[in-house]
Amino acid sequence: MTAPLDGLLVVDMAQFLSGPSAALRLGDLGARVIKVERPGSGDICRTLYLSDTDIAGDSTLFHAINRNKQSLAADLKAPRDARRVHRLIDRADVVIQNFRPGVAERLGFGPAALRARNPRLIVASISGYGEGGPWVDLPGQDLLAQALSGAMWLNGSASDGPVPFGLSVADMLAGHILVEGILAALVRRGIAGEGATVETSLLEALIDLQFEVLTTHLNDGGRPPQRAAVNNAHAYLAAPYGVYRTADGWLALAMIPLDDLAPLLVLPIAGRDAFAERDAIKALIAGRLKQATTQEWIARLRPHDLWCAPVNDWPRLLSEQAFRRLDMTQHIRRDDARIATTRSPLRIDGSRAGIDRGAPRVGEHSAAIVAEFALDEDGDVQD
């Protein structure tokens, strides 16, 4: 099967997580991705370690986000390298950036300059907090964006302070949103023949993540969300919604009518106000669920179509037949290193992208790319 984006050329000028993750998604869909990074050290993400694991000289994070890319080493402040990158972009379909606002323009790689040279180009950018305003110069970093977005006040229970997500959720969501915009712009280009400038930010991604609960807040007098004091899992949902300790693990309970749950737990909760009495009801449920194992409760609740699930850790998830059936893991290679990672979450016509080419070394493909695209065609620069 031909991949949907086969034949598309993407120039990835981004660093860290958000922009490169967007390029990764396009590569998984079949696009050719050329990563432009500084000579020598390359993308800073190469040395952004999540643990003490190093694979072939780079972090696991870099390998995860930059598989199936080619690397062109270029110093954008050096005239020769800048000319090379401009000539490559003249042939590209998509450019992805996550410079701080104003930096791309100062380097001569702003959207207006690039589209003036290549009118069919899609220039896609991620910033921290938008292209202007009082936060424009703040570092566009995931935890800081979480802090500014208000999202931390949805996590944890009422007695907790603000609780951050345990993932780089702003980076990853911004990358996904950028891909959505890029694909929409490509469709428009196919209809009208013109390129586009696509922009989002970490803050916009987190605001969009909260659209459901923010809409409630904007329409109920501006009341702040009230996290449950007991086993909170959603500030706006009533009992029993939450995660509870059992005799041997943890059990998640979703939206379950108290009248249906009461006889199975043998608790006096039927007919009570599931939100107004949320904490008291959840405390009763918590005390009861500790008296049996997770699987015993599942065996009791699921036959009645009551929504519950065990809380898996990663080893348990990886051992589950349901997980293995999805075929969501793969091995990629670089030199002699074999790296286990995930695969694209998207299936098209029943097939999921699986590409075993690992992340490139800095400048690994520079010579080949320069020759292929005749980037030194005027003959005034030589390595």
Q: Rounded to whole angstroms, how far apart are CA atoms 175 and 200?
A: 9
Is the separation of the CB atoms in 13 and 36 below 8 Å? Answer: yes
Tokens 């969300």 -> residue: 225
Nearest Cα neighbor of 365 from 61, 68, 75 is 68
Helix (H) or strand (E) holding 310: strand 308-310
Nearest Cα neighbor of 342 from 360, 52, 355, 305 is 355
Q: Rounded to whole angstroms, how far apart are CA atoms 341 and 355?
A: 11
Radius of gyration of the chain (CA): 25
Give the three-class secondary structure for 180. Answer: helix
Give the three-class secondary structure for 338. Answer: strand
Q: Please tell me the number of Cα atoms within 13 Å of 1 on its side-chain side.
A: 13
Q: Rounded to whole angstroms, how far apart are CA atoms 72 and 240?
A: 54
Please provide the size of the chain in residues.
383
Is residue 171 flagged as an active site residue? yes
Nearest Cα neighbor of 256 from 266, 270, 235 is 270
Catalytic residue among 28, 58, 81, 171: 171
Nearest Cα neighbor of 125 from 156, 161, 97 is 97
Query: What distance, in Å, lies between the first and last C-alpha atoms of the chain?
Result: 39
Helix (H) or strand (E) holding 64: helix 60-65
Which tokens go with 301?
């609740």
Is the separation of the CB atoms in 250 and 295 below 8 Å? Answer: no
Question: Which residues form the catalytic set?
Answer: 171
